Amino acid sequence: MKIKWYISALIIVFAVLSMSQEQSVVPNQEVLLQFSNKKIDLSEKQEALLTVKQQLKSVGAKHIQVQELKNGTLKITYLSITNTANVEAALSNIVDVESTKDGETPLNQDKKTYNLDVYEILKANDSTSGVGDKFVFELKQEYVRFYNPNVVLYCVNIVNKETTSLFKVAYKINESVAGAIDNYSYKIPEVRAGPIC
């Protein structure tokens, strides 16, 4: 009896511990930071990354993670309740485009430019594709649950003298054959088939 109590207490302790653990945070948005110049210093890349991170934090992003892709693009994933349009509007303020009073860019300055693309990451159950990026179609079947036994059939009843006379003759022949079989069947005795021993 004590063993049952110990086992049930152990199960309850494991359940409480598993519920108290912190849930893993899954990012729901991402920013792709692509530099237009192929020759960019590490310090310039770090500076751009730092300004993007600060701007994301000001918008309300949490759990910011940075990955560098093979082509040199930086992928910044984060968790945010702000929609992607507002994040993109906030990030568009930090793009390094220096302009003069007339709205023209000076030709003699070296400028550091980069492209920012903001995307929303779809969860696995939000996407339309199934396992292995194959489309899964949901079939919807509708059943008609009524039955109408009153079916109206239109037929043309053509009565000819020839057809009625044929039916009368056929009926007389079949009646006489059936009567002959019934009258003659009692005369044939039912015997057991087989050799006489």
> For 79-128, how does the pLDDT look when each residue is reduced to its tens digit (9 = 90+)?
888 888 888 888 877 654 433 334 444 443 445 577 778 888 877 554 55
Domain boundaries, the chain: 29-97+110-125
Nearest to 44 by CA among 108, 100, 105, 96: 96
Class of domain 29-97+110-125: alpha beta
Q: Tokens for 32, please give them.
A: 């792709």
Coil vs helix vs strand at 15 = helix
Is 9 a residue whose pLDDT tops 60?
yes
Task: Tokens for 197, please give them.
Answer: 């021993």
Token pair 């349009």 is at which residue?
85
**What mean pLDDT do residues 53-66 have?**
87
User: Would you state the pLDDT for residue 153?
Assistant: 62
Q: Please tell me the predicted confidence (pLDDT) of residue 87.
A: 84
Tell me the average pLDDT across 57-72: 85
pLDDT value, residue 142: 63
Which pTM does this prediction carry? 0.47
Is residue 5 within 8 A of residue 13, CB to CB? The reply is no
